[in-house]
Amino acid sequence: MTGDLSPIDKAKFVAAKRAADLVESGMRVGLGTGSTAAWLVRCLGEMVRQEGLKFKGVPTSTRTAALAREVGIEVVSLDEARWLDLTIDGADEFDGDLNLIKGGGGALLQEKIVATASDQMVVIADIGKEVETLGAFPLPCEVIPFGWQTTKALVEETLIQMDVLGRNTTLRMNGDAPFVTDEGNYILDCHLKRIGNPRQLAMVLNQMPGVVENGLFIDICDIVVIGFGDGRVELRDINAGTVEEERLDFVESDNLFSDLAD
């Protein structure tokens, strides 16, 4: 149970639990992908079963869709929902302006489409994801398989002109084969170390033939919910300019904590 969770998992759980309270019956909600988002889906499933919460969830990956259905959440496509009240997702990094790097789980394209089709995007993360400058986490770029090596060379050449510390890119692998996204594309991970101008880099990368989307989320996130290993939660709203702090009690629940896959 919660006593067996690591401090990082406790932080992820309390962030997800606090963000789940933002979901109201009747909403259409984007459901993110990754380990922290999996906690969110579990928390929301518990609220559906025990509190009668009724909402429609739009998953950002096949993994999230499967988990949402498993815990009793009504799943619909973005085309069915058309527009969302809220999207809640994790992040690999976020800075003081709530700019993000996402895509560590390989779902950045669907995640960005869903997030930008929402009235509000909320990021849930443990405190370790906050950085002064983006770039320590490799920046994912989703590329079409055709000519991916040429695209990789073009990306590396373009990075010479960018305000970054590193220019090495690697093809993400799944064992001995390239990792393939839900949309049938590949991912290049750009090891940049520091990104001096995220907005410029995002625009330049997306102008490149072969690049479908990049993992920089600029001016998309509205709120970040940060979890700490001792149960503290901090909610920062960049639009309102407010910061709220509270402490959540850990809830013992076999349904919530059993068989949770990252």
pLDDT at 1: 42
Contact 140, 212 (CB under 8 A): no
Nearest to 90 by CA among 141, 129, 62, 117: 129
Query: Has 89 been labeled as part of a binding site?
Result: yes
Residue type, 170: T
Q: Is 219 annotated as a binding residue?
A: no
- Per-residue pLDDT, 4: 80
Joined tokens for residue 253:
């629940």
Could you tell me the CA-to-CA distances from 256 to 18, 21, 47, 218 in Å, in that order?
A: 15, 16, 10, 33
Per the listing, tokens 């949402």 go with 68
Between residues 90 and 4, the one the model is more confident about: 90
The CA distances from residue 57 to 8, 39, 94, 151, 239, in Å, are 26, 15, 24, 35, 25
CATH code, 139-213:
3.30.70.260
Q: What is the pLDDT of residues 186-221, one digit of tens each?
A: 999 999 999 999 999 999 999 999 999 999 999 999
State how far the alpha carbon of 108 is from the alpha carbons of 16, 137, 207, 219, 236, in Å: 19, 14, 17, 15, 23
Going from N- to C-terminal start, the domains of the chain cover: 2-130+219-257, 139-213
CATH number of the domain at 2-130+219-257, please? 3.40.50.1360
Cα distances (angstroms) measured from residue 20 to each of 124, 135, 140, 193, 231: 10, 29, 27, 33, 15
Per this entry, what is the length of the chain? 262
Q: Which residues pair with 245 in a beta bridge?
A: 234
pLDDT of residue 178: 98
pLDDT band at 259 (very low <50, low <70, confident <90, very high): very low
Known binder of ligand: residue 102? yes
Establish whether 111 is a catalytic residue: yes
> Has 105 been labeled as part of a binding site?
yes
Per-residue pLDDT at 261: 39
DSSP secondary structure string for all residues of 10-54: HHHHHHHHHHHTT--TT-EEEE--SHHHHHHHHHHHHHHHHH---
Interval 3-22 mean pLDDT? 93
What percent of the chain has a predicted confidence (pLDDT) above 90?
Answer: 92
Which of 24, 74, 80, 111 is an active site residue?
111
According to DSSP, the residues that pair with 123 across neighbouring strands are 89, 224
* Cα–Cα distance measured from residue 145 to residue 126, given in angstroms and rounded to the nearest whole number: 34
Here the tokens at position 156 are 């590396």
If one compares 253 and 73, the residue with the highest pLDDT of the two is 73
Whether 260 shows a pLDDT value over 60: the answer reads no
**Residue 227 annotated as binding?**
no
Mean pLDDT (whole number) for 152-180: 97
Domains 2-130+219-257 and 139-213 share a fold: no
Angle between the 62-70 and 35-51 helix axes, to the nearest 10 degrees?
A: 30
